Amino acid sequence: MYQLAMRLLLVIFFLISPDIYSHDGINHSIKGKSKADDAAQCVEPTEIMQKEHFVFLYHQRDKTVINGVRTKNHSFANCIDCHVSYDEVGKPIPINSEGQFCQTCHVQTAVNIDCFSCHASVPRGRKPEAHISFNYNHLENQVQVPHEIEELVSYVEGIK
Amino acid sequence: MTTIEKLSRRGFIVKSISALSTVYFIPDILTSVHAAKPLSEEVKSDTKWAMSIDVDKCAKGCTACVDACVEENGLYGFDRPETDSQWIRKLTIKDIKTDKVKVVPMLCQHCENPPCCDVCPTGASFRRIDGIVMVNQHTCIGCRYCMMACPFKARSFVHENLTEQVTTAPRGKGCVESCNFCVNRIDHGIPTTACEEACMKEGHKAISFGDLSDPNSRVSQALKTKQNRRLRADLSLKQRVTYSNI
């Protein structure tokens, strides 16, 4: 009976071990704090995102570059905006640096992609949607005092 | 004696709702003037982005448009003018008959028959359906045929590793790039390019950008009021960037 129990324990041990130790016992935590930490779920269920995020990105990338579709859900810029971590002083940590969101899994799965040789690895520059509600008419209506008119006025006054 | 008409309960509610509704609807009307495309919609061929440049208004020594382009697209260089990327640059031209000197902003001319797209072996150089000639950097192999084909020398090649790209303008080593009419702005409903905005803010108003199919757009007005011409019209490339007073 004792032997049987031991064997059963061994079998159970071998069955569940790969799941427990797949990260060598290291906890899957990322330095810093990101917007995604507070979100209940990503744009799709987590299991789908883990397996298929690149499919969404590939699909969206051609739609964006060629057809000008700029929806945020599967947009690369939006992934970074949400998943990038900020350190204690509020400075964004590059998402592809060690121990960060993209890199942790890609190291584990030996995936080496070069998104960030072109794309910004932290949100940088003008926000894409920053000026949407901005009314540009004021630029056209801006009263312009060209120096030609001033010159003309002074010229005419000189004649008098 | 003035009599104050007492407002009934019903009248009060009706009047306040109608007053509130005007406040609520007016901003909607204002934004619809620009008829911005929803983010989820694909671009259509009935939009025709174009630019008109009045060379007489372009001030000598002013680099507002170039600086704005660098800022908008993160085009910082390595202090090597021979190879650093330039999406817009200022040329000084001289009339050989009259010796009159003028400065001309030169950028991708967004041809309707773009020679860069004709020679591209991978189809990375393409003309978007609304008239913007762009490089799909996902498929660009950096062969630089397009740079040789372009009669306006409008394209640049990225020779070195970059680290400070901005989110709205991905760019990197081994790809050709050029002006894309600030495509990210346009797709997000901002009807102006960085260079045009900078030129207007400077008060020169040399650059007019807009949609050709909208008769009230700044570019349509500029084309109506001034005689515009295309550079190297003999090549019949049908550029969407035209110049007046040149």
| Whole-complex ipTM | 0.79
Inform me whether the C-beta atom of residue B39 falls under 8 Å from chain A C-beta atoms.
yes
The answer to whether A140 contacts B192, with C-beta atoms less than 8 Å apart, is no
Residue A19 confidence (pLDDT): 47
In this complex, which of A67, A123, A127 lies closest to B43 when CB atoms are compared?
A67
Residue B190 confidence (pLDDT): 87
Residue A20 confidence (pLDDT): 44
B189 found inside a domain: yes
Token reading at B158 = 């990225």
Is residue B5 within 8 Å of B15, Cβ to Cβ? no
B56 found inside a domain: yes
Residue A153 confidence (pLDDT): 63
Q: Please, which residues 35-64 of chain A have a Cβ atom closer than 8 Å to chain B?
A: 61-63
Helices (H), chain B: 9-32, 64-73, 115-119, 145-149, 183-187, 194-202, 218-225
Q: What's the domain count of chain B? A: 1
**Which residue of A lies nearest to B187 if distances are taken between CA atoms?**
A68
Residue numbers in A near B39 (CB within 8 A): 69-72
Residue ranges making up the domain that contains B88: 49-244
Three state DSSP letters for A6-62: HHHHHHHHHHHHHHHCCCCCCCCCCCCEEHHHHCCCCCCCHHHHHHHHHHHHHHHHH
Q: What number is the average pLDDT over the span B196-203?
A: 93
B125 found inside a domain: yes
Token pair 């590793």: residue: B161
Is residue B94 within 8 Å of B101, Cβ to Cβ? yes
| pLDDT, tens digit, 9 for 90 and up, residues B210-221 | 999 999 999 999
Rounded Cα–Cα distance for residues B92 and B63 (Å): 13
Percent of chain A scoring above 90 in pLDDT: 40
The answer to whether B185 contacts A135, with C-beta atoms less than 8 Å apart, is no
The answer to whether A67 contacts B197, with C-beta atoms less than 8 Å apart, is no
Q: How, if at all, do strands B176-177 and B156-157 pair? A: antiparallel
Q: Which of A43, A59, A62, A69 to mutate to test the interface with B (most CBs of B within 10 A)?
A: A69
B32 found inside a domain: no
Inform me whether the C-beta atom of residue A144 falls under 8 Å from chain B C-beta atoms.
yes
Pairwise pLDDT comparison (B207 vs B9), residue with the higher score: B207
Is pLDDT of B34 > 70?
Answer: no
Q: How, if at all, do strands B133-135 and B125-127 pair? A: antiparallel
Average pLDDT, rounded, for chain B? 88
Shortest distance between the Cα of A128 and any Cα of chain B, in A, equals 6
Inform me whether the C-beta atom of residue B32 falls under 8 Å from chain A C-beta atoms.
no
Is pLDDT of A149 > 70?
Answer: no
Residue B62 confidence (pLDDT): 94
Percent of chain B scoring above 70 in pLDDT: 90
Is residue B213 within 8 Å of B46, Cβ to Cβ? yes
Token pair 């057809």: residue: A67
In this complex, which of A70, A124, A140 lies closest to B167 when CB atoms are compared?
A124
**Which residue of A lies nearest to B184 if distances are taken between CA atoms?**
A128
Quick one: pLDDT band at residue B52, thresholds 50, 70, 90?
Answer: very high
CATH number of the domain where residue B122 is located: 3.30.70.20
B119 found inside a domain: yes
Q: What share of chain B is helix, strand, coil (3-state, %, to 5)?
A: 30, 20, 50
Q: What number is the average pLDDT over the span A120-147?
A: 62
Rounded Cα–Cα distance for residues B77 and B165 (Å): 11
| pLDDT, tens digit, 9 for 90 and up, residues B57-80 | 999 999 999 999 999 999 988 999
Q: What number is the average pLDDT over the span B178-190?
A: 92
Between helices A76-83 and A46-67, what is the axis angle to 10°? 140
Quick one: pLDDT band at residue B21, thresholds 50, 70, 90?
Answer: low
Inform me whether the C-beta atom of residue B190 falls under 8 Å from chain A C-beta atoms.
yes
Residue B30 confidence (pLDDT): 38
Is pLDDT of B129 > 90?
Answer: yes
Residue B114 confidence (pLDDT): 96
Quick one: pLDDT band at residue B198, thresholds 50, 70, 90?
Answer: very high
B41 found inside a domain: no
Percent of chain A scoring above 70 in pLDDT: 67
Residue A61: partners with Cβ closer than 8 Å, 6 or more residues away? A76, B138
B6 found inside a domain: no
Shortest distance between the Cα of A102 and any Cα of chain B, in A, equals 17
Residue B246 confidence (pLDDT): 84
Q: What number is the average pLDDT over the span A73-92?
A: 91
The answer to whether A139 contacts B190, with C-beta atoms less than 8 Å apart, is no
B65 found inside a domain: yes
Comparing CA positions, the residue from B75, B167, B184 lying closest to residue A92 is B167
The answer to whether A118 contacts B200, with C-beta atoms less than 8 Å apart, is no
Inform me whether the C-beta atom of residue B170 falls under 8 Å from chain A C-beta atoms.
yes
Pairwise pLDDT comparison (A146 vs B84), residue with the higher score: B84
Lowest mean pLDDT among B4-8, B71-75, B123-127, B156-160: B4-8
Q: Across-strand partners of B89? A: B106
